[in-house]
Amino acid sequence: MVDELRRAGTGRARDFALACHPGPTLAVTLFAVAMAVGAEAPATTTALVGAAILTGQLSVGWSNDWIDAARDAAVGRTDKPVGDGRLTASSVRRAALVALAACVAFSLALGWRAGLVHLATVASAWSYNVRLKSTVWSWAPYAFSFGFLPMAVALALPGYPVAAWWAVLGGALLGLGAHGANVVPDLQDDRSTGVRGLPHRIGGTATSIGSALALVAATVLVVLAPPGVPSIGAAAALVVALGLTILGTTIALNGGRSRLPFSAAIAVAGVDVVLLVLSDWVVPR
């Protein structure tokens, strides 16, 4: 009996982990922590940045599966623990709200400037889940939330510096690319449940090409916009990002439900974060 309860508890914990969208959640958290470390933030600030971003991302992931529970069940999404009945929508809703409450506390502990900016990015992501994913403005929360993540991290640093304009714009472009790569595999299922975001209106081919252009533009911006001549390492990073984008786009254009294009977009974002960390992206005021 004890072993059965332990296995049941382990399975439930695994399902909650899957329901939070672990890939993007961990990636965005690591990106923010890397920016804080690269900017030589105090250890306490770095830890708070990680906690605020992680809890915010958990709330976003769980709210997505809670709000989409009926849609996921209707199309038989076996990769969604709520959609196939392994978790109840109410339990994931509670988890999302608890994570959101923790996010508010951790964010404001970074100071009101950083806290309010980060909470705005989380609110933007929730707005996508609640309503905007089904409108022509589906891209806007991704652009806003990714774009202002560097600003939230910068404002948490001593002296309250800001993020360089190109860091904000680069983040927004990465958000646009990630949105398209994330949505394309689910276009058919989304249409059948009434979701009509921008990618659904312009089609998978246009979305995949547009996402690729946004990802490449973000990397070019992060390479060329910082002061000085780009290093050989930066040029090599641009080549890597271009290769990842071409790979992901080729897979997306071949159709199917592969998540590799989204993974490639996250990898490009990782390359750009490394470039960001190695540049003068924090601007003193």
CATH number of the structural domain 2-283? 1.10.600
pLDDT in tens, 87-127: 999 999 999 999 999 999 999 999 999 999 999 999 999 99
User: What pLDDT shows up at residue 2?
Assistant: 39
Round the average pLDDT of the chain to a whole number and report it.
93
Q: How many CB atoms lie within 10 A of CB 162?
A: 19
User: What pLDDT shows up at residue 191?
Assistant: 85
Q: What's phi and psi for 84, nearest 5 deg?
A: -100, 10
Q: How far apart are CA 28 and CA 193, in angstroms?
A: 28
User: Residue 30's closest CA among 14, 54, 48, 62?
Assistant: 54
Categorize the per-residue pLDDT at 6 as very low, low, confident or very high, splitting at 50, 70 and 90.
low
User: What pLDDT shows up at residue 72?
Assistant: 86
Q: What is the DSSP string of the chain?
A: -HHHHHHHHHHHHHHHHHHT-HHHHHHHHHHHHHHHHHTT--HHHHHHHHHHHHHHHHHHHHHHHHHTHHHHHHTT-TT-TTTTTSS-HHHHHHHHHHHHHHHHHHHHHT-HHHHHHHHHHHHHHHHHHHTGGGSTTTHHHHHHHHHHHHHHHHHTSTT--EE-HHHHHHHHHHHHHHHHHHHGGGHHHHHHTT---HHHHH-HHHHHHHHHHHHHHHHHHHHHSSSSPPPHHHHHHHHHHHHHHHHHHHHHHT-S--SHHHHHHHHHHHHHHHHHHTS--EE--
Categorize the per-residue pLDDT at 5 as very low, low, confident or very high, splitting at 50, 70 and 90.
very low
Query: pLDDT at residue 8 above 60?
Result: no
pTM: 0.93
User: What pLDDT shows up at residue 224?
Assistant: 95
Segment among 7-11, 42-46, 98-102, 241-245 with least mean pLDDT: 7-11
> What percent of the chain lies above the pLDDT cut of 70?
97
pLDDT in tens, 43-91: 999 999 999 999 999 999 999 999 999 888 888 888 889 988 899 999 9
As a whole number, mean pLDDT of residues 225-254 equals 93
pLDDT in tens, 193-210: 889 999 999 999 999 999
Query: pLDDT at residue 4 above 50?
Result: no
User: What pLDDT shows up at residue 3?
Assistant: 42
Query: pLDDT at residue 189 above 90?
Result: no
Query: pLDDT at residue 15 above 70?
Result: yes
**Every domain of the chain and the residues it spans:** 2-283
